[in-house]
Each structure stands twice: as C-alpha cells, then as structure tokens.
Amino acid sequence: MPAPAAAAPIARTAGKLLAARAASGRQGGGDGGGGGNGALVVLVVVLGVPVGLVFGLVLLVSTVAGGQQRACMPQGGGGALPANFTGPGSLGEVGGTGIKRSLVERVRSTSPFAGEKITLGSYGTTAYGPPWGGIQGEGNATSGGLPIRGRSPRYYMVAVDTDLIAHGTFVYVWPNPFEWKGPFLAADTGGAIQGKRIDFYDWRGRPTQRGWGLKKSRVSAKPIAGDGGGQSSDEAEAPAATGPGAGECGGAAGSLADPGGDGKVVVHPGADRPDVKTRKPVLDFLKRTAGVFGQQIILTTGTAHGRMSSAGQVSDHWVGLGADMGSVANKFQDGGEKGTRIAAAALRAAGVPESLALRTARSGGGHNVCHRGWRVQVIWRTGGHFDHIHVGLRRGCNHEGIQTFQIG
C-alpha cells in the first residue's frame, strides 16, 4: 500500500476514471430502451476503475492527445504474428499469449476497432478481470470478440483506447503484473480507458488486480524487457504504424446540409437477435442519417432488446424497427456534441430543416416527426438516453411539425 501522500493522486486519477465509466454506463429507456453501448460492464479493480466489454465495428479517427501523430489504418490486419515464445511465463499458443490463432484472426476480422495502429510511449496502467457478475457484468466476451464466457481464461490481453492502439495488434508492455516479457493482444476497450491508458486483463482475481494498482508502463511494438531488464520510459515514440491517411482521418462533422446520398451504416455483432434482424426501412433511414452526418454510424442495439419499452409498449426494437447508436462504438461523450449532431442528422433525414434540427437535438428529449408515412422517433439526452441515440420507425402518422416529450 502506498503512503497516504502517495495514494492521494492515485485515488484522484482512479476516481476520474470511475466517473467517466459510470457516465458511459447509463442505461436507456423510452421507446428505445436498452443500453446504447451493448456493453457488459467489468470492474477494473484499481480503486474502482471500470472497463466495458462491447461489440462494434471499425472507426477511423482523427487526432491524438498530446500532439502525437496518428495513422488511420484499414480494418483487419494487425501486422505479423509474433514469434513463438517459450520462456518463463509463456501460456503457449500465439506468441505465448495463450490465445489461439483462430481467436486472433477472429479479433482481426470482426472487431469494430481492428487495424495496425500502435502509438508507442508511456501509459498509465491498471488491471481488471474476474470474478464477474453484478456491476462487473457477465464477462461474456471482449469488445474485440475474444471469448470469456464468464470464466477466467489465461490470456495475455489488454484493453486499450483504440484511437491509439488498434485491436488485433500485439504490443509489449513493461513493466506488467505478470513480469511477462512477451506480447499482449489488444482486444478490449472501456469507457474509462481513454488516451494513454491500458488495462491488463488479469485472470488471477481481485488480490493481484488490486495489487497492481496504477503504474506507469512503456508500450512498444517490439520486446522491451530483453533478458529481464526493461525500464519504463517517459520518452514518446512515433506511431509504429503509419498507413494511408495519417494525420486527419475524418474529424468532427461540419454542416448538416443534405448531401443527397447515403452514408455507411454498420450493424455490430450482437446488435440483433439471431432470429430477428433490424429491418430494411430502419437501415435505409440510418444510411440517410449517416449521409447527412458525414461519417459512418454504428448500430449497437437493434432487435437484441427487451420486448417492452419503459412506456409499457412493445418496443420498436423488438419488431425490427428500432436502433440505438451507442457512445463507445460511435466515439462520442455521454450527452456530448457529437451525439447531438448524430441526433440532429436523424431529424434532418426526416425532413426537419438544418437549424431547427440542431436546436431540437440540443434541447434534448424525444422527438416524433411524420416523414413519408412513417413516424420517425429520435430520442437523445433524456431519461437514460445520454450514452446512446435512439431512432425508431412506425408505419402510419398524420401529425405536422415535431412532437416533443421528455422521459423521467
């Protein structure tokens, strides 16, 4: 245990992380209902730092904290597999990580955040893992698709901010809780893991997770520790991957003027029930919304949602006519401006003029618009709808203007 004077800044930092994840963990309600992130919450047990286990699809991002250059990389890839490592601490399989090649390929081919980008340098590190349950979620799988199934598989794996380190890459982190000199697979994310933060997945349980605390470690794309040395460093290094589009990678949306074309919509794994998929009218409307917004939109909850809404009606989700866009997958802060612009883009796609769409979205609430025979519902910044935007469609309407409501 650190002395009280040393523990205070650590506690403050951990408290900020807890607050950040607590905000991102709010659950939805209203006609959309359900959490927008599709997340199973896992507690990072360092003074209460949490990590989200979510599914989603690829995002390309623009700038890096601290002025470091970043590269935008295509989905998949992840670079060459590391050589087999049979030294002390090896768990076998790929690079001694305990992770089978088929699972590495699954992460690289299906993760929403797969790529080849690795931003090197000094990171703050914590640890999380089982036992699962309660506030920590069920621990079914990581956001990169690595199976956990509520158990304690022995993996050398880390949760990262995918703006800095892409899923499917192998990174070397020293020091680490295992004194492991081989690689770790980047395969998880968390609402509180932002910027130069890394969470070590530690299957050994709460004592070792707490014992690691909050420490500074160095991240590299090649071995750091060598024969057992290895010192953490404050020196910032250039990104290991510098693919096409380095620098500006699709920044904040500008005008919401209707571009006259559709954008890209991705339905992430787990968004729908296996036997009922989100229907074409919703997907077509979201493509229109993405075209107005000017960026890809990720649908995080479709039909995989409770049957009833908080208003006691059959949810639009349940019948395939509802969609949530979660904050983690779509990279916006809870209640933040980017979420507001997505909500405004949806209103714009429903025929609301640009300035009115922005004002309405910023005011928060649920908004019903009659558009081409469909009631279009957009819910944002009311009730539990701060970590996701809900869009729902229903056939048949005859009202004019915007009907606005609030969710208690």
Ordered DSSP codes for 185-243: EEEE--TT--SSEEEEE-TT-HHHHHHH-SEEEEEESS-SSTTT-----------S---
Mind listing the pLDDT tens digit for each residue in 74-83?
334 667 788 7
- Residue 253 in domain: no
Q: Are residues 179 and 72 in the same domain?
A: yes
- Residue 390 in domain: yes
pLDDT for 140 equals 83
Distance CA 95, CA 99 (A): 8
Mean pLDDT of the chain: 76
DSSP bridge partners of 370: 375
Distance CA 179, CA 166 (A): 23
pLDDT for 260 equals 58
Distance CA 250, CA 246 (A): 11
pLDDT for 77 equals 61
Cβ 99 vs Cβ 105: under 8 Å: no
Closest to 70 in 3D by CA, of 250, 244, 186, 242: 242
Closest to 168 in 3D by CA, of 150, 146, 149: 146
In this model, does residue 166 exceed pLDDT 90?
yes
Of 220, 252, 276, the one marking the end of a domain is 220
Tell me the one-letter amino acid at 6. Answer: A
Distance CA 59, CA 74 (A): 9
Closest to 384 in 3D by CA, of 315, 318, 324: 324
Mind listing the pLDDT tens digit for each residue in 297-343?
999 999 999 988 777 788 999 999 999 999 989 989 889 899 999 99
Residue with more model confidence, 92 or 190? 92
pLDDT for 84 equals 75
Domain count, the chain: 2
CB atoms within 10 A of CB 176: 24
Can you tell me the mean pLDDT for 98-124?
Answer: 91
pLDDT band of 70, cuts 50, 70, 90: very low
pLDDT for 134 equals 58
Mind listing the pLDDT tens digit for each residue in 16-63?
333 333 333 333 334 543 333 433 333 333 334 333 443 332 333 333
Q: Are residues 164 and 297 in the same domain?
A: no
pLDDT band of 112, cuts 50, 70, 90: confident
- Residue 120 in domain: yes
End-to-end CA gap in the chain = 43
Cβ 182 vs Cβ 98: under 8 Å: no
Percentage of the chain lying above the pLDDT 90 cut: 47
Distance CA 46, CA 211 (A): 8
Q: Are residues 210 and 282 in the same domain?
A: no
Distance CA 23, CA 40 (A): 14
DSSP bridge partners of 160: 198
Q: Give the Å distances, CA to CA, from 21 to 133, 169, 193, 201, 379.
A: 17, 24, 8, 17, 21
In this model, does residue 107 exceed pLDDT 50?
yes
pLDDT for 85 equals 74
Q: Are residues 198 and 310 in the same domain?
A: no
pLDDT band of 193, cuts 50, 70, 90: confident
Closest to 245 in 3D by CA, of 68, 72, 64: 72
pLDDT for 12 equals 40
- Residue 118 in domain: yes
Distance CA 303, CA 24 (A): 21
pLDDT for 75 equals 39
- The whole domain housing 145 covers 37-220
Of 185, 220, 255, the one marking the end of a domain is 220
Helix axes 354-363, 337-349, angle to 10 degrees: 130
Q: Are residues 271 and 350 in the same domain?
A: yes
In this model, does residue 152 exceed pLDDT 70?
yes
Distance CA 344, CA 357 (A): 5
Mind listing the pLDDT tens digit for each residue in 204-227?
998 999 999 999 999 999 988 754
Distance CA 234, CA 221 (A): 16
Query: Which of 78-82, 116-120, 263-267 bottoms out in mean pLDDT, i.e. has the lowest?
Result: 78-82
Q: Are residues 148 and 297 in the same domain?
A: no
pLDDT for 239 equals 37
Distance CA 55, CA 114 (A): 12
pLDDT band of 368, cuts 50, 70, 90: very high
Q: Are residues 187 and 284 in the same domain?
A: no
pLDDT band of 72, cuts 50, 70, 90: very low
Mind listing the pLDDT tens digit for each residue in 235-264?
333 333 333 222 333 333 345 655 557 899
pLDDT band of 138, cuts 50, 70, 90: low
Q: Is 261 exposed, middle or buried (0-12, 13-18, 19+ CB in 10 A)?
A: exposed
- Residue 13 in domain: no
Q: Are residues 201 and 327 in the same domain?
A: no
Q: Which two tokens stand for residue 225?
A: 């520790």
- Residue 276 in domain: yes
pLDDT band of 105, cuts 50, 70, 90: very high
Mind listing the pLDDT tens digit for each residue in 269-308?
889 999 999 999 999 999 999 999 988 999 999 999 998 8
In this model, does residue 67 exceed pLDDT 50?
no
Q: Are residues 63 and 163 in the same domain?
A: yes
- Residue 3 in domain: no
Residue with more model confidence, 21 or 104? 104
pLDDT band of 361, cuts 50, 70, 90: very high
- Residue 229 in domain: no
Give the DSSP H or E segment for 376.
Answer: strand 374-380
What sign does the CA torsion over 320, 336, 383, 36 have?
Answer: positive
Q: Which two tokens stand for residue 86?
A: 């049979």
In this model, does residue 14 exceed pLDDT 50?
no
Q: Which CATH number fits the domain that encloses residue 86? A: 2.40.40.10
Query: Which of 120-129, 181-190, 246-255, 390-399 bottoms out in mean pLDDT, i.e. has the lowest?
Result: 246-255
Q: Are residues 316 and 213 in the same domain?
A: no
Q: Are residues 273 and 351 in the same domain?
A: yes
Return the residue matching tokens 């618009």: 369
Q: Are residues 280 and 394 in the same domain?
A: yes
Tell me the one-letter amino acid at 245. Answer: G
Of 187, 220, 253, the one marking the end of a domain is 220
